[in-house]
Amino acid sequence: MMSRLVALLFLLCTGLAQAAAPTVLQRPIDLDTGQGVLHGSLLLPQQATPPPVVLIIAGSGPTDRDGNNPASGRVDNLKRLALLLANEHIASVRYDKRGVAASQPATPDERDLSVERYVADVVAWSRKLKADPRFGPLILIGHSEGALIASLAAEQAGASAVITLAGSGRPLAEASA
């Protein structure tokens, strides 16, 4: 029985590996916020119809667009998520938040950061993506604190869907107490 299961898994994995992955355009993408520029990465599968586009919002602290944080090291979890989405014909934009990595000059003083400012940034990114004819529906994916930001921005951003990864299941006031 175990050998059959191993053989089935092997066939599935080799079949998936042989499936044709789409051609994916990788480009830098920027957003001028008026207080500084936020820098990001665009992955755009090349296809006849505009693919859905996912805006990936990183979690708390100095987490960069790829999901790396000085405290946890280099894990590239958000970058790998973007690559998996691209293989499924879904475009994505991930960006360095204000004060982080390439976007550090946008807010050099941490005291100027706020949830409201992060929400405004997501809304601005969303407007930019929704105005671009290369993209179909907008989906927000937020990780950790990014899940909260995505939830707060969703309506104003005009998102078709919101996906929260490792977000709090409790109200903010209760979770931060």
Encode pLDDT of 114-167 as tens digits. 899 999 999 999 999 999 999 999 999 999 999 999 999 999 999 999 999 988
Q: Compute, in degrees rounded to 10, the torsion defined by CA atoms 73, 88, 129, 158.
A: -100
pLDDT tens per residue, range 77-122: 999 999 999 999 999 999 989 888 888 888 877 888 889 999 999 9
With contact defined as beta carbons under 8 Å apart, do 39 and 96 qualify? yes
The number of C-alpha atoms within 13 Å of 114 and in the hemisphere containing its C-beta is: 4
Fold for domain 22-175?
Rossmann fold (3.40.50)
pLDDT at 53 over 50: yes
Residues β-bridged to residue 163: 141
Lowest mean pLDDT among 32-41, 46-55, 65-74, 125-134: 65-74
pLDDT-derived band of residue 41, with 50, 70 and 90 as boundaries? very high
> What's the confidence (pLDDT) of residue 50?
97
> What's the confidence (pLDDT) of residue 72?
82
> What's the confidence (pLDDT) of residue 106?
87
Q: Where are the domains of the chain?
A: 22-175
Residues β-bridged to residue 43: 26, 92
> What's the confidence (pLDDT) of residue 175?
63
Alpha-helical runs (H) found in 19-100: 77-87
